[in-house]
Structure 1
Amino acid sequence: MATLAQPHSPAADDAMPRPRHWREGRITEADLAHIPGDGGWPLVGNTFTMLADPPAFVKRMIATHGPVYKNRAFGGWQVALVGPDANELVLFDRDKIFSNEQGWGPVLDQLFPRGLMLMDFDHHRADRRALSIAFKPEPMRHYSGALNRGIAERVKTWGGSPMEFYPAIKKLTLDLAADSFIGIPWGPEADKINEAFVYMVQASVAPIRKPLPGTLMRKGVKGREFLVDYFTRETERRRAEGGGQDMFSQFATATREDGTLLPVDEVVDHMNFLMMAAHDTITSSATSLIWLLAKNPEWQDKLRAEITAVTGGGGDLSYDDLGKLDLVEMAFKEALRMIPPVPSMPRRALKAFEFGGYRIPAGTTVGINTQYVHHMEEHWPEPEKFDPMRFTAEQVRARHKYAWVPFGGGAHMCLGLHFAYMQVKILLAQVLTRYSIEIEPGYAPEWKAWPIPQPKDGLKVTFRPL
């Protein structure tokens, strides 16, 4: 039975000997000698093995070493903690053991620094409170109108011929971000902005971590420079002109509890992170949902019937009707279970703790694995089967609260999760009232797992007019 963290007083922690290289932020193999695991190949560790097939790698490590194991990748040692109890320990973090900033930092600090996901404790709480204004009912009502208009216009062009869905929805979500997030028609910078985000996300897991000429990290860093300049100019303009219902204007004029505006550079970093999180994660999760509905046409019929009953047969979905699409929401949750857009989550332990019979030293990078837990048979019978009925209220109550964590949990629960539900519900309302989603018999795309899941061939589907 896994044990939760044992509380420690600051004095007790100060009395404990620090692991070697604490000041440099590095944990050595000797510090983790008591934990089973595998260091992989010389120099590169398990980096390339892990990136080649992350789910297979995790399964092999757990089968060999158990649900707590050490692993060397991306130049350092980490400890994996796998299972719903591990998710609860790390995400709820009742004893403030785990740092998001120091966990995600080595992956994202050159590209998406100071986003909400990279903040800890009081700083995170203050900025989250300030930014939450963008997700209040009135701004959300404004976004829903923009989403209905933008999605309907694009979806009308999808019918009849086979198409690759992933690049189409990726372009659509970027265009929707221009309207809902930034509140301006997308101009000639659109291609550069799209390219910048693509490079930044890809560079987040690039094996070469320095921005050397010709490397993906260099392209990612240059992409960030472009977006920082763009969002800085736009933040200053919004503040000078005032107002605006779009998300960017809400962020630009957000204030902390003492009434002060967020610094311009922090607004810029929050926008950079938000655009990445909203654009790429929604692109991934919408693609997985369309794929699973194409494989399971009987669920298209069920969702279409529910949408038709709520909307009267039209494609537009009003803000007040979002909560009425229970089956649509359950289907989306099941897609997020099967192919979570964030397959794993890193943290860094600020103090020593115990879990699963092992003492994990302060300074250790630890990670939980969403993808693996979402497929554990003891919590999800027939885990490869698409079954939205897993998310009835009765089944949710009977299951471990942290067996499903696509949006994280605790204080760091995704701030934009309701926006994600809204966008996907509006997308399905526009699609399923016009089309059936079809694939060729036997078609099964191969999925690229990192940095965010996507079908390698773009997902070949046909939207057949009803």
Structure 2
Amino acid sequence: MATLADPAPREARVMQGFPQSLAHWGQGRLSESDLAHIPGDAGWPLVGNTFTMLADPHAFAQRMIDTHGRVYKNRAFGGWQIALIGAEANELLLFNKEKIFSSEQGWGPVLDQLFPRGLMLMDFDHHRIDRRALSIAFKPEPMRHYAGALNRGIASEVAKWEGLLAFYPAIKKLTLDLAADSFIGIPWGPEADRINVAFVDMVQASVAPIRKPLPFTQMKKGVDGRAYLVDYFTRETLRRREEGGGQDMFSQFATATREDGSLLPVDEVVDHMNFLMMAAHDTITSSATSLIYYLAREPEWQEKLREEIFAVTGGPDGQGNPRPLDYDDLGKLDLTEMAFKESLRMIPPVPSMPRRALREFEFGGYRIPAGAMVGINIYWTHHSEDYWDSPFTFDPLRFTADKVRERHKYAWVPFGGGAHMCLGLHFAYMQVKILLAQLLQQYRIEAAPGYNPAWQAWPIPKPKDGLQVSFRKL
């Protein structure tokens, strides 16, 4: 149970000292003495636990929980973080009923140079107003348009996948190409390729160990990629406002209005587009890869999903071509959706989530001071026997309506929760269902016996070998 503590003078000073400029967020970090009452581990001199944690984040978290309990401190990445573990902690941070936590100041130190002012880097009223304006891009009419573009793009590419394939790079490329069509509304080609390169550079730079854009560093490539996209999206926003927007997501953002009828500022449209392209691309790539992995490993579940897809689409046409999945039929793929949810439980695309405490609060019997960097561990909660039977077994039937009702609402949070629930989650469901409809109408997905690839666990999971699977014609 969390409670808001009475603000002491020091906490009031800390809270007043939170400037909005991210360049100053590193100032006034809490010291070890501020957190002396919280159990934890400082790690090695200078580097703390950074490299130990990166080597195996899940094993590190389990060791810390076993040693210190479900509230612990950890020194890494140049400062102290406090981990709050379990579904109750997830609810506290994500629902944020008392507005204790800042998402902007949690994610900012990681993402500000590359994806500033994205929805995830906004709080409270500013976040609410912009989220409402941007939600127009996910209304039924534009979503129907995206469904058509996804069916065409996925069908064209998946037809080439027969045989042994490294799935992760293949779906990564396809997802970027689909974004050029559905998100930006431009044809695949040199311009889309240049945009894709810029996005890849920015995403890789977001987790680069060198945080300054020095020559020849990944951060420099990322900052240069951002400069290119800022210029491109600025010109395109102005053009689309002058000529009238289309049904693609970018045109929807460019012409979105706030509650008072005013257009979003151009620079904010650009930042929202940059951020949502990044978020959609990397998380869908990761989650589609984990689903394909489990379907290759669990052929009986693959066959159940194939039967459902055949029943909804009618199966391949007379020439053996997969039929497209109609937008109006998306809601009929219940078991397919449950399988996707289970893969998101097994390998959540965002395994942990940071916040910064704006005020002192209490959780798990500990007083957490204002200014603390805090975070939840989504992966651990998704694999805890407190909430799941046999948590390391793939079982889509965990997501039947009755079982969902019985569980803690925040035991499954791959899309976050509360005000910052992923705006594009229905787009993700749609893209994955259309992908599976194309794949399972023409291929049997197979993996070598005993295949169990190593996964890069953080920041966004991916198989280190690219996921080697075979697509065999039915």
Q: What TM-score comes out, normalization by structure 2 length?
A: 0.94
Tell me, in whole angstroms, the C-alpha distance in 1 between the residues paired with 2:263 and 2:340: 36
Partner of 1:6: 4
Q: CA, structure 1 residues 15+218, in 2 after alignment: closer, same or farther (shift >3 Å)?
A: closer
Deviations 1:298-357 (A, max 9, x none): 011100111111111143111111111000000000000000000110000000000000
Equivalent position SS for 2:3: coil
Equivalent position SS for 2:355: strand
The answer on 1:158 being equivalent to 2:161 is: yes
Written as runs of structure 1 = structure 2, the 5 A alignment for 1:19-58 is: 24-58=27-61
Tell me, in whole angstroms, the C-alpha distance in 1 between the residues paired with 2:109 and 2:28: 11
Are 1:20 and 1:27, in contact at CA under 8 Å, matched by a contact in 2?
no
The answer on 1:319 being equivalent to 2:327 is: yes
Equivalent position SS for 2:460: coil
How many angstroms does 1:5 deviate by?
2.9
Are 1:100 and 1:346, in contact at CA under 8 Å, matched by a contact in 2?
yes
> Which AA in structure 1 matches 2:446?
E
Equivalent position SS for 1:232: helix
> Which AA in structure 1 matches 2:223?
V
**Alignment equivalent of 2:243, drawn from 231, 241, 244:** 241
Deviations 1:185-243 (A, max 9, x none): 03313333223222222222222222222222222212211211121121111111112
Tell me, in whole angstroms, the C-alpha distance in 1 between the residues paired with 2:296 and 2:361: 45
Partner of 2:231: 229
> Which AA in structure 2 matches 1:27?
L
**Alignment equivalent of 2:359, drawn from 351, 374, 377:** 351
Are 1:35 and 1:68, in contact at CA under 8 Å, matched by a contact in 2?
yes
Partner of 2:378: 370
Deviations 1:253-277 (A, max 9, x none): 0000111111111000000001001
Equivalent position SS for 1:372: helix
Are 2:15 and 2:358, in contact at CA under 8 Å, matched by a contact in 1?
no
Partner of 1:301: 303
Say which is worse superposed, 338-347 or 211-220, in terms of deviation. 211-220
Tell me, in whole angstroms, the C-alpha distance in 2 between the residues paired with 1:146 and 1:283: 17
Say which is worse superposed, 245-254 or 306-315, in terms of deviation. 306-315
Equivalent position SS for 1:71: strand
Which segments of structure 1 move beyond 6 Å, counting only runs of 4 or more?
none
Are 2:73 and 2:80, in contact at CA under 8 Å, matched by a contact in 1?
yes
Partner of 1:335: 343
Q: CA, structure 1 residues 182+205, in 2 after alignment: closer, same or farther (shift >3 Å)?
A: same
How many angstroms does 1:21 deviate by?
11
Say which is worse superposed, 14-23 or 294-303, in terms of deviation. 14-23
Say which is worse superposed, 278-287 or 40-49, in terms of deviation. 40-49
Overall identity of the aligned pairs, in %: 77
Say which is worse superposed, 186-195 or 100-109, in terms of deviation. 186-195
Equivalent position SS for 2:470: strand
Q: CA, structure 1 residues 309+426, in 2 after alignment: closer, same or farther (shift >3 Å)?
A: same
How many angstroms does 1:408 deviate by?
0.4
**Alignment equivalent of 2:66, drawn from 63, 66, 70:** 63
> Which AA in structure 2 matches 1:124?
H
Tell me, in whole angstroms, the C-alpha distance in 1 between the residues paired with 2:457 and 2:339: 21
Tell me, in whole angstroms, the C-alpha distance in 1 between the residues paired with 2:355 and 2:376: 9
Are 1:20 and 1:28, in contact at CA under 8 Å, matched by a contact in 2?
no
* Root mean square deviation of aligned Cα: 1.5
How many angstroms does 1:7 deviate by?
6.5
Partner of 2:254: 252
Partner of 2:319: none
Q: Please list every run of 5 or more consecutive structure 1 residues that lacks an aligned counterpart in the other structure.
A: none
Partner of 1:408: 416
Deviations 1:412-461 (A, max 9, x none): 11110000000000100110011110011121111111221111111011
**Alignment equivalent of 1:95, drawn from 91, 95, 98:** 98
> Which AA in structure 2 matches 1:316?
P
Partner of 2:397: 389
Partner of 1:267: 269
Written as runs of structure 1 = structure 2, the 5 A alignment for 1:171-182 is: 171-182=173-184
Written as runs of structure 1 = structure 2, the 5 A alignment for 1:69-84 is: 69-84=72-87
The answer on 1:197 being equivalent to 2:199 is: yes
Say which is worse superposed, 307-316 or 419-428, in terms of deviation. 307-316
> Which AA in structure 1 matches 2:435?
L
Partner of 2:21: none
Tell me, in whole angstroms, the C-alpha distance in 1 between the residues paired with 2:12 and 2:306: 61
Partner of 1:292: 294
Partner of 2:89: 86
Partner of 2:114: 111
Are 1:45 and 1:73, in contact at CA under 8 Å, matched by a contact in 2?
yes
Tell me, in whole angstroms, the C-alpha distance in 2 between the residues paired with 1:219 and 1:449: 24
Tell me, in whole angstroms, the C-alpha distance in 1 between the residues paired with 2:460 and 2:382: 16
Equivalent position SS for 1:269: helix
